[in-house]
Amino acid sequence: MSVEEYECIRLIDYEGMTQQECAEVLNVGRTTVQRMYDVARNKIAIYLVEGAMLNVAGGNYQITKGCQRRQKGHRLNRCPKINQED
């Protein structure tokens, strides 16, 4: 899976963004996000069903500290995944 596909999944499914919001963050068109998202979801399904190892590779990226998960457009104060302050 490409870093861009991973980022689509993270922004839409984990952060709760719309495809349009995701497109703005990634600085691409919404239809590009829709395509990347569809490809990424298909790859995830294959990995889950076939038990394959998921590799994320390629692209330029920076890892930042903290959880920025959103629910219904609001930022959470605590990270629900690791249960600690941002």
What 3-state DSSP class applies to 75? strand
Tokens for 23? Answer: 């497109």
Residue 5 pLDDT: 94
Q: Which residue has the higher pLDDT, 86 or 81?
A: 81
User: Rounded mean pLDDT of 4-19?
Assistant: 94
Domains: count for the chain: 1
35 burial (CB, 10 Å; 0-12 / 13-18 / 19+) is middle
Domain that holds residue 62: 3-75
Tell me if 85 is assigned to some domain: no
| Sign of the four-CA dihedral 68, 74, 77, 80 | negative
Tell me if 80 is assigned to some domain: no
pLDDT for residue 86 is more than 50: no
Tell me if 67 is assigned to some domain: yes
User: What are the pLDDT digits (tens) for 38-54?
Assistant: 999 999 999 999 988 88
CB 47 within 8 A of CB 37: no
User: What are the pLDDT digits (tens) for 19-78?
Assistant: 999 999 999 999 999 999 999 999 999 999 998 888 888 866 666 655 555 554 444 444
Residue whose pair of structure tokens reads 């499914």 in the numeric block:
13
